[in-house]
Amino acid sequence: MIKFNQNITVSSDKVKTGNTAGKAVEDCIVRLLQTKKEVRIIFAAAPSQNSMLNYLTNSKLIDWSKIVAFHMDEYIGLKENAPELFSTYLENHLFSKVTVKQKNTINVHNGIAEELERYEKLLSEEKIDIVCLGIGENGHIAFNDPPVADFNDPKVIKVVELDEACRTQQVNDACFDTFDDVPEKAITLTIPTLMNADHLFCVVLGTKKSEAVKNTLSGVISTACPASILTTHPDCKFYFDEKAFSKNKEITKAL
């Protein structure tokens, strides 16, 4: 593991990366619960989060009965309880293993307009403490792909059309068999909703993410790479494996 600065940590493989990130999230939760009655956390649902979530669910230090959990995006158009749903992913990797104080998942089968209103109210009840997220191959955060990303989005949550690169990534991640199987639309939390959280922990794995990582860390801050906005957050910590960080030699030298 190499720590380039307080915000960028690079580990040799995906498991070590997830464990390092998980330990940091664990420490943050424990610290916050020293002064707070509950901690509100938004979780991403993606293979990049597997090892981190495994670390967290095996933690002996986290009091899950004080955790209010949300997830950040969901497909539109899949059958209820489909294995590809992000709510199903979180059920398998998180909620079936720990008992949280409150589990808030996006249910697209309740009616889209009604669900947007319901979920926005839940998110807005109190400030979000922690966001656990990743970066897409096209630089997206949540499902804020470049064509729909808005750094000043007035909405808390919205319906978006997924771009081709995003849908291709879902096949690359083995979440779907073919491109045509990937839904064309989804619900996502907006960029301001994610950025308004106090603490962000971003885990990124694999060679296919390396260009997005490079653009995030050393490119201009632009919706062409939505994740670039993360570098402006006062407490966003990045956790990369060596493959994801492989195109950042210039950054390595500078640090």
Q: 78, 218, 200, 192: which is closest to 139 by C-alpha?
A: 218
More confident residue, 172 or 197: 197
User: What average pLDDT does the segment 16-34 reach?
Assistant: 97
pLDDT of residue 242: 93
And the tokens for 83?
Answer: 């294995």
pTM over 0.95: no
Domains of the chain: 8-253 (3.40.50.1360)
Q: Quote the mean pLDDT of the chain.
A: 92
Cβ distance 70 to 126 under 8 Å? no
Percent of the chain whose pLDDT exceeds 70: 95
Instruction: Summarize pLDDT for 39-56 with one digit per residue, the tens.
Output: 999 999 999 999 999 999
Q: How confident is the model at residue 38 (pLDDT cuts 50, 70, 90)?
A: very high
Task: Kindly tell me the sign of the dihedral angle through the C-alpha atoms of 221, 201, 141, 154.
Answer: negative
Give the C-alpha distances (Å, rounded to integers) separating 211 from 102, 135, 171, 216, 225.
37, 11, 18, 8, 10
Strands 67-71 and 8-11, sheet pairing: unpaired
Residue 255 has pLDDT above 60, yes or no: no
And the tokens for 159?
Answer: 């319906």
Cβ distance 201 to 43 under 8 Å? no
The amino acid occupying position 242 is: E
Residue 252 has pLDDT above 80, yes or no: no
Q: 169, 104, 119: which is closest to 140 by C-alpha?
A: 169
pLDDT of residue 254: 43
